[in-house]
Structure 1
Amino acid sequence: MHYGSKGWYVEELKKHGVTHYEGRKLQSFKTYFLANLLETRKSQQS
């Protein structure tokens, strides 16, 4: 998987325990949305 690809973001979010968001699978979202979601998850854990 390439850094910054949609699949990479999905895998990183799964590592943080996120598999669904608002009742939808992560794969159904656009890459830019997954990137923003990952940033918010990282900042919440800090």
Structure 2
Amino acid sequence: MHYGSKGWYVEELKKKGITHYEGRKLQSFKKYFLANLLETKKQA
């Protein structure tokens, strides 16, 4: 898995226990959305 790839963001969010967001799987979102979501979860 390459750092910064869509798969990397999905994997990092899964490590935090997030597999779905608003009823949709993480894989259905664009990379930029996953990056923003991960950043907000790091701050919380």
State TM-score, norm by structure 1: 0.95
1:32 maps to amino acid: Y
What displacement does 1:39 show? 0.2
Runs of 4+ in 1 over 3 A off after TM superposition: none
2:26 corresponding residue in structure 1: 26
Deviations 1:1-46 (A, max 9, x none): 00000000000000001000000000000000000000000000xx
Q: Which runs of 5+ in 1 are unaligned?
A: none
